Structure formats: C-alpha cells, structure tokens
Amino acid sequence: QQQVRQSPQSLTVWEGGTTVLTCSYEDSTFNYFPWYQQFPGEGPALLISILSVSDKKEDGRFTTFFNKREKKLSLHIIDSQPGDSATYFCAASGAGANTGKLTFGHGTILRVHP
C-alpha cells in the first residue's frame, strides 16, 4: 500500500522555466513533509520541508505548498537550472509512535535542458 504518491515520474523542462512536482498522501496523522534531492551516486539531501501547520515555505528558488484539506503538497522550482537535474522525493512522517519514520514517494526524475 503506497501511502505517498508522487507525480510525475519524470519531467523535462527548459532552463529558466518553472518546475512543479506534486505529492498526495493518505495518512491524516502525517504532519511533517520534507523534500529530498538526489544526484546519481549520492544519498538524498534535504532540500526543503514543511509542517502541517503551514501552507507555504520558501527557500530561494524552491517553494513547497501544503494543502491539508486535500492531503496534497507540491514543490515549485522557479528559474530552473541544469544543475537542478536530479531525482526529487517527497516524504512524510507523523507524530507519536511514527515520529521520525519517513514514508517516501517513488520519486520524480527532473531533467533541465539548457
């Protein structure tokens, strides 16, 4: 049972364009949603994260939006650069016994063409 669904599986954008990645989840106890960026041959690196008490968090060219009612989140990358080409994972964790246990989406492979 996949608890975190991520789309699209892959995406190609032109340099300077805006990238939008989306995730949906099922478990209403999830309250922490990080996005990870992974380059080939490396481990995932935390890119940006948001708590369920917020609906938007911005960090430079990266913004994540959270919609609690629809159980959806998204990652927007403005002015996309070739160096942003990587695999992006959304993840989620909840409070209580599940705190710290991340459930990951399957990832989106992003290619930014110059």
Partner 1 sequence: EAAVTQSPRNKVAVTGGKVTLSCNQTNNHNNMYWYRQDTGHGLRLIHYSYGAGSTEKGDIPDGYKASRPSQENFSLILELATPSQTSVYFCASGAPAWGYEQYFGPGTRLTVL
Residues that bind partner 1 (CB under 8 A): 6, 32, 34, 36, 41-46, 49, 51, 89, 91, 93, 99-107
Nearer to partner 1 (CB atom), residue 65 or residue 104: 104
* Nearest-approach distance from CB 105 to partner 1, in angstroms: 6
- Of 15 and 46, nearer to partner 1 (C-beta) is 46
Question: Given the complex with partner 1, which of 24 and 93 has the nearer CB atom?
Answer: 93
Q: Classify burial at 64, counting beta carbons within 10 Å of its beta carbon; exposed 0-12, middle 13-18, buried 19 or more.
A: buried
- How far, in Å, CA of 14 to CA of 82, rounded? 8
How far lies 24's CA from each of 2, 6, 8, 9, 47, in Å?
10, 7, 12, 14, 18
User: Least distance in Å: CB of 58 to partner 1?
Assistant: 16
Q: Which of 19, 34, 21 is nearest to 107 (CA)?
A: 21
We find the least distance from the C-beta atom of residue 102 to partner 1, in angstroms, to be 6
Distance, in Å, from the CA atom of 61 to the CA atom of 104, rounded to the nearest integer, reads 23
Tell me the sheet residues that pair with 4: 25
Q: Which is nearer to partner 1, 44 or 80 (CB)?
A: 44
Shortest distance, CB of residue 4 to partner 1, whole angstroms? Answer: 8
